[in-house]
Structure 1
């Protein structure tokens, strides 16, 4: 099989790009283009995830290439930018979105100081390193002590589409919470109205009190009597919704002293955003991203229910 490629490189980017002209496997293709000086060095850039095929990171040496596909080689500088991010990890990125996995303890957005080392600030530096005019826009937030998956927009149009059509665009948001005790019902729906006082604490009312209606569905995934792991699906996305609702049923999230928790075995808030599913604001394609539940959430003596 004949293998050839047309090479082109943007002055503003650190990537090298090649267009596949004939069918080939990935490693032989890279060796023919003399991407690196040796076979081992070429294998290394594959293993480090520095090779993309049509925008998707590929590490398999024998991945089959077809004519017309674009091969992109990300230089070490680009990989270094990603590795320098603190407390966040990029799960996905395109021209409209960045999806990340955030650790507990990292603010989503600065509350007071614009240059605070938040997820938003770090991503802003990350995109501006490629082009000073690039920006990152807040679409939704996670509390500082909540870990897990969240997304940002890379342009105002994507932000507006997502925020203005949130209920239609975001089809699923799933969380995992470690709570005190064991709920009497193995699954249930919590439905109430939430309002915030001047001290920024959210209160719940079973009747419409002029606040915002909030609906949370939960299922007890595991329990040992003292603590339980709950899988929660949000029908609405109000501030502190999960924390308030679990406090309402008498099983506050561990570490959540603000909403009634008496214990803190994890030394952090026991809440993790595991899954988000949404329609891409430009392509309309349904996308889903997942963040594994932290190992520290594992119950010492657990019983599946």
Structure 2
């Protein structure tokens, strides 16, 4: 069920739905197949929303089953209450539209739990498919609630390494700019939105390079695509980002964004937890290229 905000009044149904299902083309296919209802009634894709409606989207009929290999991951820490995973790029955290199989929580079936959504057991926070690094998952309801509360209180430190194009005007700073669905491109998040939500990102220069800057970025809030949208908003998109920057920079096949440090108090013992994940090899190679080093150092 999707609740249509008042700010979406005047939008076409297919344009609005694109933000939830991944693309306008996919939204149109669902509408044309009769799988979308607005307040219980099928509507055409050009139908104009008024705001306040409820949209139901039925699952499309399944085609031939395709075997999807289980998600790859590394365990950075595990106990009876929680698991911290080092997620590689290319892995989706939980099932969603267009990604029903091969997700992280499915690979962790039986080892994570908690929450009312069967597709998101134990999920405290998420990483984009092509963002690598650390995230914590709960193994029971009590732990999930405690970690989510700590996240809301901003007692969980999530620090990323991001290579960005150009050089910010200050060595450190805070981006305090509300984010929401972009007015024109509904699959992207933006400061140019009709549905803004508070979003705060802190950054500090880790290394200045000839044409790029390696930043340490800390999230104070956790909006979808927050780092990528915020860094674009200040004119320094994440290197290699195909949606918010320029694909292929420094040989990258994805955005240079890695959740390298996670710190929080253990929800049961109160002991401080701090975990780090080194940069994966594809980002190490890109960083060398951005630094002007040769990728091959052999004699």
TM-score by length of 2: 0.64
After superposition, residues 46-125 of structure 1 pair within 5 angstroms as 86-112=71-97, 116-124=101-109
- Tell me the CA shift for residue 219 of structure 1: 1.3
Q: Distance in 2 between matches of 1:216 and 1:151?
A: 20
The 1:149/1:225 distance shift into structure 2, 3 A limit, reads: same
SS at match of 1:139: coil
Partner-residue secondary structure (3-state), 2:179: strand
Deviations 1:167-219 (Å, cap 9, x if unpaired)?
336331100011112222222111101112472311115xx965211111111
1:226 matched to 2:211: yes
Q: Is the 8 A contact 2:181 2:194 kept in 1?
A: no
Given that residues 211 and 290 in structure 2 are in contact (C-alpha distance below 8 angstroms), is that contact kept between their aligned partners in structure 1?
no
Instruction: Choose from 185, 195, 200 the match for 2:170.
Output: 185
Which residue number in structure 2 is paired with residue 269 of structure 1? 255
The 1-side partners of 2:77 and 2:288 are apart by 30
Structure with a larger share of its residues in strand: 1
Q: 2:190 aligns with which of 178, 198, 203?
A: 203
Q: Is residue 280 of structure 1 aligned with residue 266 of structure 2?
A: yes
* 8 Å Cα contact 1:274/1:293 also seen in 2: yes
Asked whether the 8 Å contact 1:216–1:232 carries over to 2, the reply is yes
CA distance in structure 2 between the aligned counterparts of 1:156 and 1:296, rounded to whole angstroms: 40
Task: Check conservation: 1:192, 1:214, Cα contact below 8 A.
Answer: yes
**Paired position in structure 1 for 2:136:** 151
Task: Give the TM-score taking structure 1 as reference length.
Answer: 0.63
The 8 Å contact of residues 96 and 158 in structure 1, kept in 2 or not, is answered as yes
Q: Secondary structure at the match of 1:216?
A: strand
In the alignment, which residue of structure 2 is the partner of 1:293? 279
> How far is 1:103 from its partner?
0.5
Change (3 A) 1:297 1:260: closer
CA radius of gyration, larger in? 1
Q: 166-175 vs 149-158, which deviates more?
A: 166-175
Give the superposed CA RMSD.
2.7
Task: Report how far residue 296 of structure 1 moved.
Answer: 2.6
Where structure 1 has 5 or more consecutive residues not aligned to the other structure, the ranges are 1-83, 129-134
